[in-house]
Amino acid sequence: MPGLRLRRERTGAASERARADVAASTAEAIAGIELPSDARAAAFFDLDNTVLRGASLFYLARGMHQRGLLRTSDILRFGRQQLQFAFGAEDPDHIVEARAAALSFIAGRSVEELSRVGEEIFEELMADKLWPGTQAIAQLHIDQGQRVWLVTAAPVEVATIIARRLGLTGALGTVAEHVDGEYTGRLVGDLLHGEDKAAAVRSLAEREGLDLGRCSAYSDSANDIPMLSLVGFPCAVNPDRKLRRHARKRGWRIRDYRARRRNTTLGLAAGTGAVAGAAVGIIAARKKR
């Protein structure tokens, strides 16, 4: 059947182009980066918009909604926050609101349930949203024998799942209190954000015997300037405007995978459009009831 054969050929060509784009992204990511094998050096990666396109918290919320574990009103709120994250607008007030909401919707649920569901959601919604370029840089650190951590305001359980799936050393994240195996809806300590994120990295470096002057850090957000300023080799990845200006002024490395290829930009637009579309669909369905 000529039509079917033509579709297969087009699909094959698209797959080849996708593989070529990943290879190009990988080559570009590690170009000019030389990392000596150094037991006292490590790398710290922010998660949302740095390693993962969009917000990990939204993907978790979306997956829980699909399983009937989250209300429609909550997923609509997360949809709006995802659009803000997707375009790099990490307003501190929005982040605090998002994390507080995350704590509220896991309250009363078991630690075991969140871990199990989180594994499933990673496979369903997050695995294909990872930035290949950032992954390549993380792998470069690993190949040089350096330890690599995710450092994020997202719940530590979610961050740990992603770190394990990527073969990283571990993760630092916001810790939700749990008693007798169930979440209470309260935090243990502070939200891991801004200065608190930097403090957590400093404490980890002391425990692990790391020399921060030999370490690297990667983030998309100006909120992480305190963490980036701690290390000898900071890098702005997919930076927001404020971080881009700061990085240029300081002479920091900049990697932006959003504009590297036209299809990357289109992919981002498609992702945010899907969120908006899902929200519209949910609203329409509710109006028909």
Active site residue 46: yes
Among 48, 220, 224, 240, the active-site one is 48
Phi-psi region of 209 (alpha: psi -120 to 50; beta: other; left: phi over 0): left
Rounded Cα distance, 237 and 54, in Å: 13
Active site residue 211: no
DSSP 262: H
Among 21, 38, 46, 93, the active-site one is 46
What is the bridge-based pairing of β-strands 147-155 and 42-45?
parallel
Six-digit token string for 268: 């981002």
What is residue 171's three-state secondary structure?
strand
CA angle, 269 as apex, 191 and 133 as ends, to 5°?
65
Rounded Cα distance, 203 and 112, in Å: 28
Q: Name the maximum alpha-carbon separation found in the chain.
A: 66
| Location of structure tokens 């429609």 | 72
Burial track 183-195 (b if 16+ CB lie within 10 A, e otherwise) = bebeeeeebbbbe
Rounded Cα distance, 233 and 214, in Å: 7
Rounded Cα distance, 202 and 206, in Å: 6
Rounded Cα distance, 168 and 142, in Å: 8
DSSP 107: T
Please answer whether residues 172 and 153 qualify as being in contact, where contact means their C-beta atoms are separated by less than 8 angstroms. Answer: no
The set of catalytic residues is 46, 48
